[in-house]
Amino acid sequence: KVWPWWSELLSHPSRDQFWQDLSVLDHPEQVKVPALHIGGWFDIFANNTAKAFTELRARAGTAEAREGQRLIIGPWDHLNSTGVYPDRQFGMLADAITQDLTGEHVRFYDRYLRGQDGGGRDVPPSAPVKIFVMGIDQWRDEQDWPLPGTSCEPWYLDGSGRANTLAGDGRLSPEAPTGNATDTYLYDPLRPVPTLGGRIMLPTTANAAGAVDQQAAEARDDVLCFTSDVLEI
């Protein structure tokens, strides 16, 4: 029998008490040790990786645990930590090897598990957060997550009811629409829209994770596309 625990997991399809008892996020005050959180923007677990850092930094059970949280997020998925994808390469510095990810582990373990300086390796990093900024393809050290000064704003779906395909009239705008329209599409289970890249659990050769050109999917009439103007930084 392979993975005898697998059937137990499948027997709890909803987030019932079984999952709540296992969840760190449901009991952050019980965590009394520092933690090193490492993830990728294209990892299916990216949201919870960042949330675990945030919750434990605020609510862990000891001051050492709260102060010892560290977050690293690169342009990676669940399996690939090179930053190289078929339709987008994020540069030589995107690779986990160039960022000495193994060294990050060793320094963290030396400090919090061994209590050793390891030739100075136990010195805390200058910033608790290290993120890769896609677009400019650079690493940044930050003091917190979400980034200080971050603000959220609503964006709206707009158009005249013909948002089918990338050539349609669907618009994404920070301004509320002034008219009413209804967009529709026909779903055919015999002709499903393929997943192209993004955050997926186990990417394959035929279905790579990460940054993948979406035009093949956006050309279908059973896909609604809402596109914004070019964002200005």
Query: 3-state DSSP call for residue 41?
Result: coil
Which H or E element spans position 133? strand 129-133
- pLDDT (tens digit, 9 = 90+) per residue, 66-124? 999 999 999 999 889 999 988 899 999 999 999 999 999 999 999 898 887 654 554 55
Instruction: State how far Cα 116 lies from the chain centre.
Output: 33
Cα-based distances in Å from 71 to 79, 133, 138, 149, 164: 18, 14, 16, 18, 39
pLDDT of residue 124: 55
Q: What strand order describes the sheet that includes 129-133?
A: 35-40, 69-74, 129-133, 138-142
Q: CB–CB of 215/197 below 8 Å? A: no
pLDDT of residue 140: 96
- pLDDT (tens digit, 9 = 90+) per residue, 21-73? 999 999 999 999 999 999 999 999 999 999 999 999 999 999 999 999 999 99
- pLDDT (tens digit, 9 = 90+) per residue, 136-150? 999 999 999 999 999
Q: Give CA angle at 215 (213, 220), nearest 5°.
A: 145
Whole-structure pTM value: 0.86
Query: Of 109, 85, 96, 122, whose CA–CA distance to 214 is shortest?
Result: 85
Kindly tell me if the per-residue pLDDT of 17 is higher than 70: yes
Cα 54 from Cα 173, distance rounded (Å): 30
Cα 105 from Cα 172, distance rounded (Å): 42
